[in-house]
Chain A
Amino acid sequence: QKEVEQNSGPLSVPEGAIASLNCTYSDRGSQSFFWYRQYSGKSPELIMFIYSNGDKEDGRFTAQLNKASQYVSLLIRDSQPSDSATYLCAVNGRSNTGNQFYFGTGTSLTVIP
């Protein structure tokens, strides 16, 4: 079992709709949770991070964390065609020697104009 699981999609939503991306993780000791956006052939770009249970909003993006269910999600409101990309969920669990990041396989999102 992978440390971080995501639905690979593809997920298609019409322009202006809400896109919902989900992620589960296996290590209950994980402390930090990140969402990255990656366009094809480009490097992952940090969109959101969340450390505490609940919701965190930043513009059109909302990250939701439920540590009891080991679940983190990303909502994209008013989806735009430029949001079409692969979204990577990453989980950070601290070890004695440093930070260890685990990535999900990514969810491919297509926003249809």
Chain B
Amino acid sequence: AAGVIQSPRHLIKEKRETATLKCYPIPRHDTVYWYQQGPGQDPQFLISFYEKMQSDKGSIPDRFSAQQFSDYHSELNMSSLELGDSALYFCASSPRTTGELFFGEGSRLTVL
């Protein structure tokens, strides 16, 4: 069965650089979520989209932005990167009707 696809799996950036993470949700899932997980932390909700419109916003810094495109893939853009942005970034998708959340493998961002 198709799963949530994230790319890249690993990314190394310098401070103040920009990074873009991509997510391809499970087909026919209408909601996409982005989470940030630091070492030993629980996943922190960043932002979500329902049918390509932003639906909820969590603890997403102003330096970050995200959007969902017509083909339902989503991108998380992170600018002016800081050391504290180093984390695993998970994308998850969900069918609104059942509400189960399915995670991608994650993108590990390291900021040097």
Contact = CB atoms under 8 A, between A and B. Distances in A.
Interface of A: 31-32, 34, 36, 41-46, 49, 88, 90, 92, 94-95, 97-106
Given A34-B100, A46-B100, A101 B42 contact: no
Nearest to B102: A46
Interface residues of B, number: 23
B106 A46 contact: no
Contacts of A104: 42
Give the dominant DSSP class at B's interface: strand
Interface of B: 31, 33, 41-43, 45, 48, 50, 55-56, 88, 90, 94, 96, 99-106, 108
B105 A42 contact: yes
B42 A99 contact: no
Contacts of B90: 43-44
A49 B102 CA distance: 12
Nearest to A32: B99
